[in-house]
Amino acid sequence: MENLVKSARFAALLGSLAGILALGGCASKSDKLAELPSASGDAQYSTRYRIAPGDSVQIFVWRNPEVSTSVPVRPDGLLSAPLLEEVPAAGKTPAELARDLEAELSTYLRDPLVTVIVTGFVGTYREQIRVLGEATTPSALIYNDSMTLLDVMIQTGGLTVFADGNNATLVRVVEGNQEEFRLRLDDLVRDGDISANVDMRPGDVIIVPEAWF
């Protein structure tokens, strides 16, 4: 009986040590991630807006109201409109699409002058910021000039009660390489530590893990 008790105690001790080592491994991995500098408030990384599937575009053809219309961009990136069966739209700026539409319409109209206005914005994936995990509302957001981590957290509603915000990770492509950075979301959102606020870039991915209780 005494040997059985000792064996049980030894097994429990091994289990505790394994848990401690596992937690220590997680902590050390998080500690190895670099932190980004505090937000400057004037960082601008955006490019010209490019049309994406799901966007709505208004096509205005001067002096030709019968072919002026508003249409959605289909999931395959094409659009269809009067006199236009299938025209590639995704990935183009509104001005680039307007020039392409002028070329297409020139078959039917003399010197068409086209203006394209985007009225519903989705944005291409490379322009989105995606928030995963224990955010209140995990979302894909369109990047805006000078956008910061605080702006992103406001739009996603902050953190859930289960979030381990100070071990959140930002995944970013830097000079063609994917890199990870540690974020201090608890300090920023729950404690109001503005030094934890950082500048965002188009294409950033924020991963908020669940806390260990």
d(CA 65, CA 67): 5
Q: E strands, 84-204, where?
A: 84-88, 114-120, 128-133, 139-142, 168-174, 177-183
- Establish how many alpha carbons lie within 13 A of residue 145's alpha carbon, considering only the half-sphere containing its beta carbon: 5
pLDDT at 202 over 60: yes
Flag whether 6 is in a domain: no
- Establish how many alpha carbons lie within 13 A of residue 119's alpha carbon, considering only the half-sphere containing its beta carbon: 12
pLDDT of residue 213: 67
Separation of CA 44 from chain center: 16
89 vs 15, which has greater pLDDT?
89
**Proportion of the chain above pLDDT 70, given as a percent:** 84
**Proportion of the chain above pLDDT 90, given as a percent:** 74
pLDDT digits (tens, 9 = 90+) for 143-182: 988 899 999 999 999 999 999 999 999 999 999 999 999 9
Domain with 209, as residue range(s), is: 124-213
Residue 99 and residue 162 share a domain = no
pLDDT digits (tens, 9 = 90+) for 103-136: 999 999 999 999 999 998 888 888 899 999 999 9
Residue 136 and residue 82 share a domain = no
Residue 209 and residue 176 share a domain = yes
Flag whether 39 is in a domain: no
pLDDT at 102 over 70: yes
Q: Which helix (H) or strand (E) holds 69?
A: strand 69-72
pLDDT at 1 over 70: no
pLDDT of residue 27: 53
Flag whether 46 is in a domain: no
Flag whether 19 is in a domain: no
Residue 142 and residue 107 share a domain = no
Strands 128-133 and 205-208: parallel
Q: In terms of Cα–Cα distance, which of 87, 88, 91 is closest to 49? A: 91
For the domain that residue 87 is a member of, what is the CATH number? 3.30.1950.10
For the domain that residue 175 is a member of, what is the CATH number? 3.10.560.10
Residue 152 and residue 92 share a domain = no
pLDDT digits (tens, 9 = 90+) for 10-65: 444 344 434 443 444 445 455 689 999 999 877 777 668 899 999 999 999 999 99
Residue 133 and residue 168 share a domain = yes
CB atoms within 10 A of CB 101: 24
Flag whether 33 is in a domain: no
Residue 169 and residue 104 share a domain = no
DSSP 3-state of 77? coil
Average pLDDT over residues 63-76: 97
Flag whether 78 is in a domain: yes
Flag whether 98 is in a domain: yes
Residue 131 and residue 101 share a domain = no
pLDDT of residue 5: 39
Question: Could you give the number of structural domains in the chain?
Answer: 2
Residue 169 and residue 147 share a domain = yes
pLDDT of residue 17: 38
Q: Which two tokens stand for residue 169?
A: 């990770």
Flag whether 51 is in a domain: no
Q: What is the largest distance, in Å, between two alpha-carbon atoms of the chain?
A: 100
Residue 132 and residue 111 share a domain = no
